[in-house]
């Protein structure tokens, strides 16, 4: 079997935010030879030209350092102030500074130059996420002939939003140099196809420069998932049970409504708290018997729009507390800190409602983890945004428009009042979907498509 080289901006073990992707790919890499390549997390004066190998909990990881100025333009600038908001259809929150593109390109070139000498001809390379769209182009310009796949963890934008991105044609041309481009959901593949159709030479008469030839790359939806069995086990582990006891002690007889999200404007956190405020205001009988807990570890906090989201959340949480709290009852707990997976699994299991209402999201693994952590005999209810990729998989959740806080408030009421029989029936369907779309199935199906057909054939003959 060919070696697998995984490439992403962050490598595993570098900060709590890297969790989802790291957990997903660590298992796949453990099954075959290869290594993980990415940024070391270090900012230096002179960029490193060679990668350093390190063993991180049995995983071979090759890392390079970046300069502070390149990193700023590449990460906080082009990736997270232009691509992220545009891909999430928040052009109002984008800062269009075209010069950041040079730093973005320079870092992708640096990745390619440091990775190339480490490659063997039949290695398969799997590149992750919007930080690294140009990487295949840069590798191919240096002579790499390997099969290279790209996976976009975030939504693919509409054609209009894409046109707002500086150098979008170059970026799309870069995408066309991958052998396989994977996306989270069918809606992303449709948006991509729409863009590709727009670009077909016949639709842009007389301007061949604008045309992007996608004929070389294959595209498909490969929805990512969790490891549901691992989460189910974790949810009854001593660490999870300890967390459950801690919370039960301070919130006796309360039905818990739980949200867990990076503190990001795409997650719809202020809208979510506003919906909860409406529930308490419309249905007074829920006061004293429910409690909302929002866990929101800070993220990308050097970027102004993230600080503003944090301030907006502080304000609305304060308002709800001031409006409804009593000396012996608090409606809300808001925690700006990251927790380990076992503690989160405990909280998911304790919660009566998992409130997962991003305004737009690639997949949303919290939805998967919440489902997997439930007690089969007394499961909680998932309220899920229609605009998360997960909504294509979990159609037995209560699906809501997260911008419509009345609808979300009504979903909360319905979830809190839902009889046990219906909760069990819905959860069983959700859990079956979580199994069907597990992280193992995700990585196997993507790699199966990326593997050259002759290798696929000979492994099938061996089997």
Give catalytic residue positions.
153, 361
Residue 326 C-beta: closest distance to ligand F6P, Å:
37
Residue with smaller CB distance to ligand F6P, 299 or 373: 299
Whole-number Å distance between alpha carbons of 110 and 127: 15
Residue 255 C-beta: closest distance to ligand F6P, Å:
30
Whole-number Å distance between alpha carbons of 291 and 299: 25
User: By CB under 6 A, which span of 10-18, 139-147, 197-205, 206-214 interacts with ligand F6P?
Assistant: 10-18
Identify the residue among 137, 199, 217, 299 touching ligand F6P (CB under 6 A).
299
Long-range contacts of 193-196 (CB under 8 A, 24+ apart): 193/219, 194/158, 194/159, 195/159, 195/162
Residue 11 C-beta: closest distance to ligand F6P, Å:
10
Is residue 10 within the footprint of ligand F6P (CB under 6 A)? yes
User: By CB under 6 A, which span of 17-25, 245-253, 313-321, 438-446 interacts with ligand F6P?
Assistant: 17-25
What SS3 state is found at 130?
helix
User: By CB under 6 A, which span of 15-23, 140-148, 210-218, 224-232 interacts with ligand F6P?
Assistant: 15-23
According to CB under 6 A, which residues from 149 to 168 bind ligand F6P?
153-154
According to CB under 6 A, which residues from 193 to 212 bind ligand F6P?
none
Is residue 280 within the footprint of ligand F6P (CB under 6 A)? no
Integer angstrom CA distances of residue 332 from 8, 221, 287, 289, 314: 36, 38, 11, 12, 12
Residue with smaller CB distance to ligand F6P, 124 or 224: 224
Residue with smaller CB distance to ligand F6P, 80 or 451: 80
Is residue 86 within the footprint of ligand F6P (CB under 6 A)? no
Residue 203 C-beta: closest distance to ligand F6P, Å:
31
Is residue 17 within the footprint of ligand F6P (CB under 6 A)? yes
Nearest Cα residue to 280 out of 323, 333, 226: 323
Is residue 43 within the footprint of ligand F6P (CB under 6 A)? no
Is residue 300 within the footprint of ligand F6P (CB under 6 A)? yes
Is residue 82 within the footprint of ligand F6P (CB under 6 A)? no
Helix (H) or strand (E) run with residue 438 in it: none
Identify the residue among 21, 161, 183, 381 touching ligand F6P (CB under 6 A).
21
Is residue 1 within the footprint of ligand F6P (CB under 6 A)? no
Strands, E assignment, 299-417: 332-335, 353-356, 381-385, 398-400
Residue 29 C-beta: closest distance to ligand F6P, Å:
16
Residue with smaller CB distance to ligand F6P, 111 or 276: 111
Integer angstrom CA distances of residue 261 from 125, 131, 279, 294: 30, 21, 21, 8
Report which residue's Cβ sits closest to ligand F6P.
17
Strands 59-67 and 52-56: antiparallel
Helices (H) and strands (E) in the chain, counts: 18, 14
Using CA atoms of 442, 360, 311, 410 in order, give the dihedral in degrees to the nearest 10. Answer: -110
Residue in the structure block whose two tokens are 């509409």? 158
Residue with smaller CB distance to ligand F6P, 41 or 166: 41
The HSE-up count of residue 192 (CA atoms within 13 Å, CB side) is 25
**Contact letters (x/-) for ligand F6P, 112-131, by CB under 6 A?**
-----------------x--
Residue with smaller CB distance to ligand F6P, 62 or 127: 127
Whole-number Å distance between alpha carbons of 62 and 265: 32
Whole-number Å distance between alpha carbons of 354 and 103: 39
Q: Is residue 36 within 8 Å of 8, Cβ to Cβ?
A: yes
Residue 439 C-beta: closest distance to ligand F6P, Å:
14
Q: Is residue 139 within 8 Å of 125, Cβ to Cβ?
A: yes
461: burial class by Cβ within 10 Å (0-12, 13-18, 19+)? exposed
Residue 12 C-beta: closest distance to ligand F6P, Å:
10
Residue with smaller CB distance to ligand F6P, 18 or 43: 18
Query: Which stretches of the chain bind ligand F6P, using CB under 6 A?
Result: 10, 17-18, 21, 129, 153-154, 299-300
């Amino acid at each position: 079997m060919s070696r697998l080289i995984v490439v992403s901006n962050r490598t595993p073990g570098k900060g709590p935010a890297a969790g989802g992707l790291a957990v997903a790919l660590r298992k796949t890499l453990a099954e075959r030879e290869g290594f993980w390549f990415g940024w070391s997390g270090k900012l230096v004066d002179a960029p490193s030209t060679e990668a350093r190998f390190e063993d991180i909990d049995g995983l071979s990881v090759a890392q390079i350092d970046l300069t502070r100025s390149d990193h700023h333009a590449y990460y906080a600038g082009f990736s997270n102030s232009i691509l992220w908001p545009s891909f999430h259809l928040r052009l109002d929150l984008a800062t269009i500074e075209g010069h950041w593109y040079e730093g973005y390109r320079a870092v992708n070139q640096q990745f390619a130059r440091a990775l190339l000498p480490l490659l063997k001809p039949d290695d398969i390379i799997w590149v992750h996420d919007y930080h690294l769209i140009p990487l295949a182009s840069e590798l191919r310009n240096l002579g790499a002939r390997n099969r290279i796949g790209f996976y976009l963890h975030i939504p693919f934008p509409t054609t209009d939003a894409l046109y707002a991105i500086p150098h979008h044609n170059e970026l799309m041309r870069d995408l066309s140099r991958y052998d396989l481009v994977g996306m989270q959901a069918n809606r992303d593949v449709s948006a991509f196809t729409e863009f590709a159709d727009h670009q077909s030479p016949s639709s842009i008469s007389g301007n061949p420069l604008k045309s992007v030839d996608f004929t070389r790359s294959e595209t498909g939806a490969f929805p990512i998932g969790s490891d549901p069995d691992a989460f189910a086990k974790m949810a009854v582990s001593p660490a999870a049970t300890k967390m459950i006891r801690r919370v039960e002690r301070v919130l006796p007889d309360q039905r818990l409504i739980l949200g867990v999200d990076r503190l990001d404007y795409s997650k719809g956190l202020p809208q979510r708290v506003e919906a909860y405020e409406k529930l308490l205001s419309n249905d007074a009988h829920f006061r004293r018997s429910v409690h909302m807990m929002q866990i929101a570890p800070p993220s990308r906090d050097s970027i102004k729009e993230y600080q503003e989201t944090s301030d907006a959340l502080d304000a609305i949480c304060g308002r709800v507390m001031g409006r409804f709290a009593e000396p012996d009852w608090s409606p809300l707990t808001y925690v700006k800190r990251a927790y380990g997976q076992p503690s989160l699994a405990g909280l998911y299991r304790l919660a009566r409602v998992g409130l997962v209402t991003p305004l737009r999201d690639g997949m949303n693994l919290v939805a998967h983890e919440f489902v997997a952590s439930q007690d089969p005999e007394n499961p909680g209810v998932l309220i899920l945004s229609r605009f998360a990729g997960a909504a294509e998989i979990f159609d037995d959740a209560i699906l809501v428009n997260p911008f419509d806080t009345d609808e979300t408030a009504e979903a909360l009421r319905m979830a809190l009042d839902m009889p046990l029989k219906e909760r069990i029936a819905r959860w069983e369907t959700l859990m079956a979907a979580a199994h069907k779309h597990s992280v193992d199935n995700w990585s196997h199906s993507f790699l199966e498509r990326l593997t050259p057909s002759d290798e696929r054939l000979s492994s099938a003959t061996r089997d």
